[in-house]
Amino acid sequence: MNSEAKTKVGSIVHLGAGALSGMTSCILLQPFDLLKTRVQQSHMQGAGRGSVLHVLQTVVQSEGVRGLWRGTIPTLLRNAPGTSLYFYFLSHTRALSLAAERRIFHDTQRTKLSAPSNMLVGASSRALAGFLLMPGTVLKVQYESSLYRYKGMMPAVVEIWRSGGFRGFFVGAVPTAIRDAPYAGLYMLLYEAVKSYERAFAEGRGFSLRETTVTMVAGVSAGLTASYLTQPFDLVKTRMQLRPREYTSVAQSFVKIFREESVLGFFRGISLRVLRKGIQASLVFTLYEWVLRTNAAKSSVSSTALKA
């Protein structure tokens, strides 16, 4: 197999691994997403409606248990290709960054990126994938919200177009990018650092850890920390997408939320987001790396068989 064919196969594997991990996490964790959206919209519906338990009870009473999975289809349409594109961009930007560092540091044996490069690779990959899938993000958030009672995907698309035109599908793009780029950058930095620490810790005490354990622990740790640090931008993004006429820009939204809800207002739904992101990050990266390892093992076996 020539190098061009190998690159093509590698890209397909990264896309497929990303899509599989994205779809799995979306289906399992959709209730967290729906409840987070409902909690974050609660201030616009009056005081006393914002607790997770109250929102959960309201959803189950009015829509049944199935109501917790409302918005799963737009979430899949947005997150499965989004995760796939993210890992695709991540794979390519990692390779480019590693090649650049080898040239800069005159180290052809370098196999790991520096901490700043890990942050840059993660941030740029997430920001680019997020922008391309922005229409799906707007559709997903509005579909999950009880402020919009869409009867289906097409009615939702038509209504967003009618009320906001092409720009309506990119409402909240700026806070989304401000949230996603730092989140992904911090995530990659912490993820790689925690993995290295786990391996060094185990090696120093004379035992080994399964790779699945390493990636799961690193994924949860990095996901929880990065989620907490970027939470205010997540809330601003949701408000802008639900009420674009009330929350007209990032700066205006920050001022409005601070005046009406104080600093604590920026952390509405934080417990749900932190739980979801931590679990999702662990699932996504564990599945993604498992697929890559499985493919690498199969390729190795095939190569050995051909040589024999």
- Give the percent of the chain with pLDDT over 70: 87
∠ CA 192-33-88, rounded to 5°: 40
Q: How confident is the model at residue 140 (pLDDT cuts 50, 70, 90)?
A: confident
* pLDDT over 90 percentage in the chain: 22
For residue 251, pLDDT beyond 80: yes
Is the separation of the CB atoms in 97 and 113 below 8 Å?
yes
**How would you write 122-173 as a 3-class SS string?**
HHHHHHHHHHHCHHHHHHHHHHHCCCCCCCCHHHHHHHHHHHHHHHHHHCCH
Cα–Cα dist 263/235, whole Å: 12
Give one DSSP letter per residue of 245-256, joined into a string: TTS-SHHHHHHH
Q: Is 238 left (phi over 0), alpha (psi -120 to 50) or beta?
A: alpha
The owner of tokens 């909240």 is 172
Mean per-residue pLDDT, 263-282? 83
**Higher-confidence residue: 36 or 4?**
36
CA–CA gap between residue 276 and residue 227 (Å, rounded): 9
pLDDT at 305 over 60: no
Q: How confident is the model at residue 262 (pLDDT cuts 50, 70, 90)?
A: very high
Residue 266: CA atoms inside 13 Å, Cβ hemisphere, count?
A: 18
pLDDT of residue 261: 92
pLDDT band at 287 (very low <50, low <70, confident <90, very high): confident
Predicted confidence at residue 100, as pLDDT, reads: 92
Residue 47 confidence (pLDDT): 47
